């Protein structure tokens, strides 16, 4: 299994869509697509956010439409997906997590962490840690769907 946060969550989603060895995934603070993330940041930080991001991606030879976690999430099924988002996350709004949840096929779960911002999912405390642990224990047990 794998857990990714923010851009790492996007990477985990895309990897799981391609690699069935990832038997369960947790996506924390993920975006539906790289393009959507850049648009969101542009709205939040101004024109220069998109300019630098697009320039860096072009230099790296990465097309903007190549990273689309929402487009591959259904391919992860029947392996379980847990989507986690902070209720007060301004970088990845709850609406984005709901779009990812809608794009995923069963089995899937959505967990909204109260009072958590983008870099503060620890606000979920021991309950979040227990939820994550239980998710992986159940998903990776012998006999779990692959």
Work out how many domains the chain is built from and give that number: 1
Q: How many residues does the chain have?
A: 146
pLDDT per position as a tens digit, 44-71:
656 555 556 666 767 777 666 666 788 8
Percent of the chain with pLDDT over 70: 79
Whether 60 maps to a domain, the answer reads: no
β-pair partners for 108 = 81
Q: What is the CATH number of the domain that holds 96?
A: 3.40.50.1820
Look at residue 50 in the predicted model and tell me its pLDDT. 57
Look at residue 90 in the predicted model and tell me its pLDDT. 87
Binned at pLDDT 50, 70 and 90, residue 131 comes out as very high
pLDDT per position as a tens digit, 6-51:
888 988 998 999 999 999 999 999 988 766 666 655 656 565 555 5
Distance CA 128, CA 120 (A): 12
Whether 83 maps to a domain, the answer reads: yes
Look at residue 99 in the predicted model and tell me its pLDDT. 95
Domain that holds residue 101: 2-33+68-140
Nearest in space to 113 (alpha carbons), one of 92, 137, 138, 140:
92
């Amino acid at each position: 299994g794998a857990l990714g946060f923010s851009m790492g969550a996007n990477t985990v989603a895309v990897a799981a869509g391609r690699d069935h060895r990832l038997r369960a995934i947790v996506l924390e603070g993920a975006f539906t697509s790289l393009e959507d993330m850049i648009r969101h940041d542009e709205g939040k930080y101004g024109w220069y956010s998109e300019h630098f991001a697009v320039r860096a991606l072009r230099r790296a030879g990465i097309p903007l439409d190549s990273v689309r976690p929402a487009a591959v999430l259904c391919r992860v099924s029947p392996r379980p997906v847990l989507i986690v988002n902070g209720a007060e996350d301004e970088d990845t709004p709850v609406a984005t997590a709901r779009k990812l949840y809608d794009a995923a096929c069963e089995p899937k779960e959505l967990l909204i962490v109260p009072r958590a911002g983008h870099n503060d999912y620890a606000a979920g405390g021991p309950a979040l840690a227990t939820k994550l642990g239980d998710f992986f224990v159940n998903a990776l047990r012998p006999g779990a769907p692959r």
